[in-house]
Amino acid sequence: MLEISFSKIKNSSEPLTHIERDVEMRPEFFKRSKDLLIDAKNVHLSGDLFYEEPFVTGSFHVTADLVVPSSRSLKPADYHEDFTFTENYIDRKPTKVELEDNDTIVQVENDMIDLQTAVEDNILLHIPVTILTPEEKEKDVYPEGNGWEVVSQATFDEGKKNQINPAFTKLKNLFDDKKEDK
């Protein structure tokens, strides 16, 4: 569990507290992210924390090698994450003004800033919606089954252009019937 003391940073004589750590993912993280993530390795956190009344602010950089399900076939796909995030930590309940003025405020419990959960949450938040296996990227492969198939947007649009509206088909036949009556 990666934690750091709020009061230690608040009372530090140094303007910045630097942190540089490899992060082990907890089993409960994999349990709660089972539909989004298969594996996470080489997770590394670096960053700085400083105190500016009333917050301890942390600015972090995370890198991780992930295995995630392909958004097309659900087959495992490798994905490297490299992102930054900033959070403000406070040792009391934030006021409405503080909440309005700041993007992310995390209330600390028992004087401990939980960086483990912050890293885990941000890893999940930074997984893109579309991830493909190398084969799916190269060959434009789409899954199919018994009586169904997934098609690209371009194929779908082309099929719609060539599709005849059944109501118009009936009208066409109506005009053919009138020609035969004459």
Tokens linked to 85: 């995030």
Q: Is 120 exposed, middle or buried (0-12, 13-18, 19+ CB in 10 A)?
A: buried
In tens digits, what is the pLDDT along the chain, a chain of 182 residues? 789 999 999 998 889 999 999 999 999 999 999 989 999 999 999 999 999 989 999 999 999 999 999 988 899 999 999 999 999 999 998 888 888 888 888 999 999 999 999 999 999 999 999 999 988 888 877 777 788 877 777 777 877 777 776 666 666 666 665 666 65
91 and 141 co-located in one domain: no
Beta bridge partners of 145: 148
Same domain, 116 and 142: no
The reply to whether 182 falls in a domain is: no
Instruction: Answer yes or no: is 177 within a domain.
Output: no
Q: How far apart are CA 119 and CA 3, in angstroms?
A: 11
| Domain extent at residue 142 | 137-171
**Locus of tokens 């492969």:** 141
Sign of the CA dihedral with 96 first, then 17, 9, and 91 last: positive
Same domain? 33 vs 111 = yes
Query: Is there a single domain that holds both residue 84 and residue 152?
Result: no
Residue type, 121: D
